[in-house]
């Protein structure tokens, strides 16, 4: 297990740096449980176990956030992903993760010029009439510059940092090894599904590093809002876009954070809040493709009470089935049907084992808390907070797409209240939910769903004779087999293998002792230290076998690698 964590020799230096950061922020016990301290001490590298005194004043969530900041870009991104997991972490942890800012010092333009010109296929001066060498903004993956095309349009040039893919991939390899070791060594971590979170994080980060993917996301979003002129999505200049480069139209307006300036320019905050909310709810309930981080930094207010969405590096996707589950959950809450609500929650949580009676009781209490309240008294933050607390209590973990959705709704609610203090997301969402319900049972949609079901049924019926013929043939020839997957079968096999190995070694050891004793009584032949050589070697072999047997018995209570305790 330890060897898996440090098997990549070229990552050892980075692993050592991360270990020191964890120790410095007071996670000494965690490092020791992972076995990393012992590995480095064996390698002759001293670790200093005293934590910084100022950290005594920080709680655990604050120390984790500070450690992630110091670990670098990939771990900052991980913290930002964890900020979406309201189902796993309590509000104080989410608040700390939200403080993680992906802001770094921009690189000098000359450090980017050669890569930029390689992606453009020409010198910068031949592509852009003007190019601002001073970065407009910088993050760990890319930085942004203003420019002007020869046609006169002002554009944003987003350039990926050189070698960032190599750096991120190395950190992802290391992070996955550490998480696998942690999941095996620290039992209480398992319920958080850390390996699953890391896989989600790695996929999200790889998509974010592909700047061409961001352009595809923006273009898809623009197509979804083609008939709504009050929503603006920046135009992509595809002739310049690639994995390392993104060129898009520069949108000049009022950043959503500058609300007083928006009012001074005559913009109506209530209309802006309603249109922004309508846009995000349409993305979620109708399109199934939504901006996963609709905070004020990603919104620009434009004349005519229009809004522009920018930065589509992180988007969420909801399948039709998932959107139906959302509507089902809402209908269950409205109808006070706790059993149906529990069914949706269990569908989301997968194979989690829970006390159904207790969960039904708590869900019924949850529904009763909000049932009958006027819409104005319903707060989305309170509802989602209570729901995620309930899921944490029963160790029910949201799928990644719903974790992003919950986070987007909470962000939208906060943004809406900043723009319009009287904003109420529940009131704003009600017509969209009704529309989603009506759309779900529209004749053309029902007909399409029925046609799909009928097609699948026809395929099953058409294949039935062939499948029956194969089944009968298998029965006649005696080749019919049943594959049974038992959770504990691997462990049981391991136990049998261990027992057989011990029995074999014990028998061989006993035979060596008996045979060597007989040899000792026979005179003649080669000697060693005045004793028959074959007898001495036989006793030595028996001694080694006995020691191995004792060690095997002593370690017998340990589970095999990869197995989890019940």
What is the biggest distance separating any 2 CA atoms in the chain, rounded to whole angstroms?
Answer: 114
Q: Taking a C-beta distance cutoff of 8 angstroms, is the pair 153, 159 a contact?
A: no
For residues 83 and 89, what is the distance between their CA atoms, to the nearest angstrom? 8
Tokens 């986070």 label which residue?
Answer: 407
Active site residue 293: yes
3 state DSSP class of 528: strand
* CA gap 394, 373 in Å, rounded: 26
Sign of CA dihedral 114, 106, 18, 197: negative
| H/E segment holding residue 230 | none
Give the closest residue to 315 by CA, choosing from 220, 250, 227.
Answer: 220
**DSSP one-letter code for 287:** I
Report which of 380, 209, 409, 223 is spatially closest to residue 316, judged by C-alpha positions. 409
**Cα separation of 118 and 121, whole Å?**
5
Helix (H, G, I), strand (E, B) or coil at 247: strand
The radius of gyration computed from the CA coordinates of the chain, to the nearest angstrom, equals 31
CB 248 within 8 A of CB 158: yes
Among 87, 278, 293, 413, which one carries the catalytic annotation? Answer: 293
CA 216 to chain centre: 22
Sign of CA dihedral 323, 325, 326, 327: positive
DSSP 16-51: HHHHHHHHHTT-HHHHHHHTHHHHHHHTT-----PP
Say how far apart CA 344 and CA 555 lie, in whole Å: 44
- Return the bridge partners of 145, or none: 157
Determine the Cα–Cα distance for residues 128 and 151; give it in Å rounded to an integer: 9
At a CB cut-off of 8 Å and minimum separation 6, what does 504 contact? none
Give the residue numbers annotated as catalytic, written as ranges. 293
């Amino acid at each position: 297990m330890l060897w898996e964590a440090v098997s990549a020799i070229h990552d050892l230096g980075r692993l050592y740096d991360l270990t020191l950061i964890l120790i410095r922020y007071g996670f000494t016990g965690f490092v020791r449980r992972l076995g990393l301290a012992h590995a480095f001490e064996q390698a002759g590298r001293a670790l200093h176990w005293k934590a910084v005194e100022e950290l005594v004043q920080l709680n655990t969530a604050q120390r984790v956030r500070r450690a992630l900041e110091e670990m670098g870009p990939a771990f900052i991104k991980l913290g930002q992903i964890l900020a979406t997991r309201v189902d796993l972490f309590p509000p104080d942890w989410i608040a700390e993760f939200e403080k993680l800012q992906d802001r770094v010092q921009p690189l000098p333009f000359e450090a980017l010029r050669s890569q930029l010109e390689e992606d453009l296929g020409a010198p910068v001066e031949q592509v852009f009439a003007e190019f601002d060498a001073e970065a407009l903004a910088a993050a760990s993956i890319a930085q942004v510059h203003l420019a002007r095309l020869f046609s006169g349009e002002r554009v944003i040039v987003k350039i990926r940092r050189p070698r960032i893919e190599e750096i991120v991939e190395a950190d992802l390899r290391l992070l996955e090894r550490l998480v696998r070791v942690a999941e095996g060594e620290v039992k209480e971590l398992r319920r958080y599904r850390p390996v699953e979170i890391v896989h989600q994080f790695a996929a999200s980060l790889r998509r974010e590093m592909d700047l061409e993917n961001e352009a595809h996301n923006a273009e898809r979003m623009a197509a979804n809002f083609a008939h709504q002129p009050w929503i603006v999505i920046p135009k992509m200049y595809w002739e310049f876009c690639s994995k390392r480069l993104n060129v898009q139209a520069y949108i000049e307006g009022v950043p959503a954070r500058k609300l007083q300036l928006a009012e001074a320019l005559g913009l109506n905050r209530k209309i802006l809040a309603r249109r922004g909310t309508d846009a995000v709810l349409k993305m979620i309930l109708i399109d199934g493709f939504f901006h996963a981080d609709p905070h004020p930094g990603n919104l620009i207010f434009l004349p005519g009470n229009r809004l522009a969405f920018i930065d589509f590096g992180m988007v969420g996707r909801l399948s039709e089935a998932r959107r139906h589950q959302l509507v089902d959950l809402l209908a269950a809450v409205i109808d006070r049907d706790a059993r149906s609500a529990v069914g949706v929650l269990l569908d989301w949580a997968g194979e989690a084992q829970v006390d159904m009676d207790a969960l039904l009781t708590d869900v019924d209490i949850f529904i009763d808390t909000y049932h009958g309240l006027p819409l104005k008294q319903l707060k989305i933050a309170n509802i989602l907070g209570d729901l995620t607390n309930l899921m944490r209590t029963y160790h029910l973990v949201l799928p990644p797409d719903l974790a992003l959705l919950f986070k987007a709704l909470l962000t939208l609610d906060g943004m809406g209240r900043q723009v319009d203090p009287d904003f109420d997301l529940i009131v704003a969402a009600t017509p969209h939910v009704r529309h989603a319900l009506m759309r779900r049972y529209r004749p053309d949609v029902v007909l399409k769903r029925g046609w799909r079901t009928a097609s699948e049924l026809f395929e099953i019926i058409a294949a039935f004779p062939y499948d029956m013929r194969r089944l009968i043939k298998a029965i006649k020839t005696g080749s019919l087999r049943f594959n049974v997957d038992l959770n504990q079968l691997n462990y049981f096999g391991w136990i049998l293998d261990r027992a057989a190995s011990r029995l074999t070694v014990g028998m061989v050891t006993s035979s060596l002792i008996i045979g060597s004793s007989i040899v000792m009584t026979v005179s003649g032949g080669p000697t060693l230290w005045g004793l028959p050589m074959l007898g001495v070697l036989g006793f030595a072999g028996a001694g080694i076998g006995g020691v191995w047997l004792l060690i095997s018995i002593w370690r017998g209570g340990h589970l095999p690698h990869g197995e989890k305790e019940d």
